[in-house]
Amino acid sequence: MRHVEKQPDVTKTKPLTEPVVFILLSLADEPRHGYALMKDIEALSGGRVRLRTGTLYGALRRLLEEAWIERFQQSDTSREKQAYRLTSFGRKQLQLELDRMKQLTRAASSRLKTREV
């Protein structure tokens, strides 16, 4: 008998919080450690989102538990910084969230256009 890990039903996932979306987006192009994540998220959001350390590491812990991200060993660092990278499952979840947001935006834009007439 083969052991198969059960993946969560993606049709029943709740919308992601803004900090989680930004964490996943930041990790979409390359692995990053905590401080680099905080700086990249601030840049991605145009300075609007500034994650506190507790918020960041709480979210990272949950994302690790859900296997959306994984620890990544970086050899180019002199200190013991823990880096993280997006897993293929995490990338899929991010894409589902972005698709949900696009649909919401389309519906809202359509509704607003009909009210302007």
Q: Which residue has the higher pLDDT, 101 or 8?
A: 101
CATH at 70:
1.10.10.10
pLDDT of 11 higher than 90? no
CA geometry: angle 84, 89, 93, nearest 5 deg: 100
Q: Which residue has the higher pLDDT, 22 or 6?
A: 22
Q: Is residue 3 part of a domain?
A: no
Q: Is residue 6 part of a domain?
A: no
Q: Is residue 93 part of a domain?
A: yes
- In whole angstroms, give the CA distance from residue 13 to residue 93: 9
Q: Is residue 1 part of a domain?
A: no
CB 83 within 8 A of CB 31: yes
Q: What is the pLDDT of residues 32-79, one digit of tens each?
A: 999 999 999 999 999 999 999 999 999 999 999 999 999 988 776 556
pTM score, whole prediction: 0.81
Q: Is residue 7 part of a domain?
A: no
Number of domains, the chain? 1
Quote the domain boundaries for residue 29: 16-116
Q: Is residue 4 part of a domain?
A: no
